[in-house]
Structure formats: C-alpha cells, structure tokens
Structure 1
Amino acid sequence: MAIDEENVLGENNLEYEELLDGVVNVVRENKELVGDIHREVFPPPKVQRGGMNKTVLVNFVDICETMHREPEHVMNFLLTEMGTIGSLNGQQRLAVKGRFVPSNFEGILRRYINEHVICNGCRSPETILSKEKTLFFLKCQQCGAESSVAPIKSGFVAPTGPRNAAT
C-alpha cells in the first residue's frame, strides 16, 4: 500500500518544518492546551536561637500561607516529628523547646509537604486539606483526585522538668 504524499502533507503540500512551526504557534497562543507548568516554591525555614534551650522558626506563618495550611496543623506535625513542645508566640513565630538547626525543620517540612500538600496523582501543590469526622482528606484543585491522609500520631515524648519522688 503506497502512501499518498499529498494526503499526508495536506493539500497545500506544506513542509514538515512549516507544520511543526504552526503547531508550536498554536500552543504558544493557547496556554491552556499545555497546562500549568508553574511549580510552587516554598520558602526555606529561617531559624534563630531563642535563649539557652529554645529555637524559633521566624517565617513559620509565611510557610503555612504558601502551603495553604492552618498553622495549628503544621505546628502539630512539626512538634510531633521533633518530639518536643512549642507554641506560637505573639509575633506569630514558632518557638520550639530544644536546639535545632534549619536542616531539621527543612526535612520535616519536606515530609509534611509530600504527605499533606502535594497531590499523589498529578504532583500539584494546589490542594485542599479537609477533615471529615476523624479523617483528613486531600483534594486536588488541578486533577480532582481525592485521597485520605495519615493522621498525625504522636510517639513517645520523654518527660522533662523536675521529677517527683517515687512514693
């Protein structure tokens, strides 16, 4: 079976490069054909010492706003993973008991983003975290996928402070 060159290249007998240029121009004019290639860049944690045995995450609220997550949920995850206690101070900074370096926060925030922010289907950060009864669900705004998210489980935390005498 012979291939009719006129049917393949069209009636105008356009060259391959001209056809390719035409397709590229159509894609450039219609960005919705390609989809959004933009990747969300999360700010790195800015950490300061807050006394002898305290670490402060200065841009905690900014990180939460970039992820579109409630600060309380992110704080619970961080404190649970670090095995420590902490709170938001008056300047909306996360004060954590213990000495930590930025890489500690970075690794835990990266794990939080992979588990509670990024869509498993299309890898988009445009997701919504919702709670139904006792379960959390991650719903993607891009592809519409919905999946359950593992709850934040606290492990063993060593008691700190003065010890009571055994009676």
Structure 2
Amino acid sequence: MATVNIRRDVKDSFYRYKMPVLLTKIEGRGNGIKTVLPNMADVARALNRPASYPTKYFGSELGAQSTCNDDTERYIVNGAHDQNRMRELLDGFIDKFVLCQSCKNPETELIVSKDEYITADCKACGHVGDIDMRHKLSGYIVKNPPKKASKKGKKGAAGADSIAGQPGQVDDEDDDQDELTRKIREGAAEVMSEEQAAKLIAQREADEDWGEDTSPEAVAARMAALGVSGDSSLLAGDDDDEEAGGPYAEFATWVKENKDEVSAAEIYKEADSRGVAKKTHRLLPYLFPALFTDKVADELPKYLALLAKLTNSDKAVKALGGGIEKLLGDDYPDAVAQTPKVLMVLYQNDIMDEDAIKHFATHVSKKYVAKDVSKRVRKAAEPMVKWLEEAESDEEESDDE
C-alpha cells in the first residue's frame, strides 16, 4: 500500500512518520449515495487514533451523516465526496487532533480528564496542550475516549514497514519503562479514595435496586465489595436524590429567567458552581424545557455545545429524552410535531445516536411526564425512526450490490 508523510507539508522522503494514502470509494445512488473509506482503519492505526475519530471529523466538516463499524472496519460518510477533498480534511484532522502544538510531531496521546477536557500529551517533547473543545468532534471524543492499546497492538499499528519511533510503536529499549508505567497506573487505578467511592455509590442507576438495607454497616459492606476501606459515614446518600426537583428545578428557573442575558458557557459555569452539573441525568429533564420554547427546532443550535457536554453518559441521554417530553408534551403540546426535527438535529450533532433515538421512540415511560403524554411525544418521533431504518436499508442494499 502506498504511503505518504503524515505531515504532507513535509516533503522529505526520509521523514519517519508515514501513513497509508487515504482511499475513497463512491457507492450507491440517489439519496443513498455515500463515500466509503476502505482503508480508514489502517490510516487511523498509523495516526494512533480510533478510526471513528477522523470519520466523525469528516462528517462534521462536510455536514453529512457518518457511520462507523469497528467490528467490520467499515467507515462511511454520506454523499459523494472527492478523494482530494477527503485527504485535505484528513490533513485538518491531523493538525487539530494528532500533531503536537509545540514540536509538530504526531507522537501525541489524547487524554480525557474527569472534568471532560481533552489534552494532547506529546511523547516526543513532553508538551501537554489543550484540544479545541469548540469543535464538534471534541464532544464525540469525550463520550468515546480512546482506549489504551496493548503493546502488541501498538507495535503493529503502522504496519510491517514502520520505522522505529513512529506513532503507536514501542521500541524495545523502552519496554522496561513502559512496563513500569503500566504497573504504576494499574496500582493507581486500584486506589480509590473514600470520596470517589461515595460518588460512585451515589451515582447508581436510577432503576437499579440496591436493596432495602441502607444502614452504615450495609453501605460499608458494599464499599468492601468495591475494594474500598474507610468510614462508611462518607457514603450517607445524596440529600437531593429523591427530591422532586430540589437544586435542579431551582437552577432551571434561573436559566429560564436569565437565558437571554447569558451565554451557553455562562450557563454551564453557573451549573458547575451550584454543583448541579455533576449529575446531568438529574439536571437535563429540568434544563431542556427551561432553555427552549415552542420554537425549539430553531433555538437548538445555540445550545448544542452545552447539550453535548452535559450528555456525558447513556443515562444522561435518556434524561434528555425526558426533557424533550416535558417541553413538547407538557409545556408546548401544540409543538409536538417538531419532535422528529429536534431528534434529527441532536442526531446530526452526535448528541443522540441511532440506538438512543430508537429507544426513545419505542419505550413509553411515566418517569418524567404522564404516560399518555409520553406516548404522544414518542409516537411523534416515528418519522425519525423510519428515516433511520430506510437509511440502514439503503446501506444494506448497496452492500449487497
């Protein structure tokens, strides 16, 4: 397979950082036409990044739907796109999400912090730089952080012809250091503070049954099961867990009164300062109706970055569905026809994926609104589900051809 310099602006034929030339293939016809990236997995391995990252980057830059299947290594961007254009976009991805900001070498590792910020740690020069969190792909990376590759996988990342020092490769002389680093990290992972244990138990799934016994002794036993020792009084439960709204409803009221005067970033800072941003699955059912009106489909773009940051778990995405029910079911029932358009915007911006939308449309719940209201809103989502199924059917038909 032909290779090129990872930095295509470097013309040196002896430049050691290489990657396969990105290939494209146009498939389908009409509305089902798409651009398949047959060797995206190989390109991504050379860049030491998951293949879904550049694929999603292409989709966001082109305003097109993108699909990724890591099992079959099939990566697709909807629409017909010129090969040169795709390679230019790949250069943009490399510049923003692969190269070190200091030495411009592609030996960086992406790290997602607990407060959901992304940094690029350069193994060549040691520089740690921030990744632009305003880009749509950053939200996707936060939700899908890179998995640490095994040593075997790293050595094979750039192919048999790779040169020592290439991204994703481990030199033999560094094995001892890597082994020591691994042991240190494994040891750190096993040490969980009492405060972290308290948060872990407090953030249990809403529908998970932890049993009837909530005595300090029983809580301490659950702590021991997690491999944590300490004072069980730290795990005294969340005072506002069972309140009807508590600080989340209060914050939503503040948002409703002040949203015209403050930015989305300021709303998040206020949520963080009040402590309600830590439990987004409790916040979103109140925040979503506070942010929007019956013109929600037109108002969504202003708050997409905020919603992307808050939907940091599957539970938070489900809670976002509850907020949609409250807004279009209770607050503005005459606007329920906007449900498919709202879901489409959230889908195109990687806030709700295909599975989340299908679950929303097919699982009536009385958790956030009355059951008949939930049924009406979710039934209104059927056109979106139909569109997803047709798109999937077109893809399968094209594959068969």
TM-score under structure 2 normalisation?
0.29
1:145 deviates by 0.2
Amino acid at match of 1:150: D
Match of 1:64 among 28, 44, 56: 44
> Counterpart of 2:19?
42
Inter-partner Cα distance in structure 1 for 2:118 and 2:101: 15
SS at the partner of 1:69? coil
The 5 A counterparts of 1:17-28 are: none
Q: Which has the larger radius of gyration?
A: 1
**Take 2:108 and 2:54, find their aligned partners in 1: how far apart are those partners?**
15
1:50/1:95 contact within 8 Å kept? no
Q: How does 1:18-167 map to 2 (within 5 A)?
A: 38-52=15-29, 53-89=33-69, 91-132=72-113, 133-151=115-133, 152-153=135-136
Aligned to 1:42, what secondary structure does the other structure show?
strand
Indicate the structure with greater helix content: 2
Measure, in 1, the Cα distance between the counterparts of 2:76 and 2:52: 13
Aligned match of 1:28: none
Moved more, 87-96 or 73-82: 87-96
Compute the displacement of 1:93 (Å): 2.1
C-alpha separation between the residues in 2 aligned to 1:77 and 1:62?
17
1:86-137 Cα shifts (integer Å, max 9, x gaps): 2124631211210001112111110110111111211111110111132110
| 8 Å CA contact retained: 2:58, 2:77 | no
Q: Please give the alpha-carbon distance, in whole angstroms, between the structure 2 residues aligned to 1:91 and 1:102.
A: 22
* Structure with greater strand share of residues: 1
CA drift of 1:38 comes to: 4.4
3-state SS of 2:100 partner: coil
Instruction: Tell me, in whole angstroms, the C-alpha distance in 1 between the residues paired with 2:16 and 2:63.
Output: 31
Alpha carbons 2:52, 2:75 under 8 Å: kept: no
Q: CA RMSD in A?
A: 2.6
Once the 2 structures are TM-superposed, how far is the Cα of residue 143 of structure 1 from its aligned partner? 0.6
Distance 1:101 1:138 in 2: 30
For the residues of structure 1 that align with 2:67 and 2:130, how far apart are their CA atoms? 27
- Residues 2-50 of structure 1, C-alpha deviations (whole Å, 9 max, x = no match): xxxxxxxxxxxxxxxxxxxxxxxxxxxxxxxxxxx84312222111112
Q: Give the secondary-structure state (helix, strand or coil) at the position aligned to 2:118.
A: strand
Deviates more, 1:140-149 or 1:113-122: 113-122
**SS of structure 1 residue aligned to 2:18:** coil
Letter in 2 for 1:153: K
The answer to whether the Cα contact below 8 Å between 2:111 and 2:118 also exists between their aligned partners in 1 is yes
> What's the CA shift string for 1:145-164, capped at 9, x where partnerless?
000011332789x989x89x
Encode CA deviations 1:48-90: one digit per residue, 9 max, x unaligned: 1121111101111111111001223222222111110021246
> Aligned letter for 1:40?
Y
Question: How many Å separate the matches in 2 of 1:44 and 1:77?
Answer: 17
SS in 2 for 1:121: coil
Q: Which sections of structure 1, spanning at least 5 residues, go unmatched? A: 1-36
Q: Distance in 1 between matches of 2:118 and 2:79?
A: 29
Write the letter of the residue equivalent to 2:75.
L
- With 60-69 and 70-79 compared, the bigger mean Cα shift is at 70-79
Matched length: 125
Give the partner amino acid of 1:139: D
Letter paired with 2:116:
T
**One-letter code of the match for 1:46?**
L
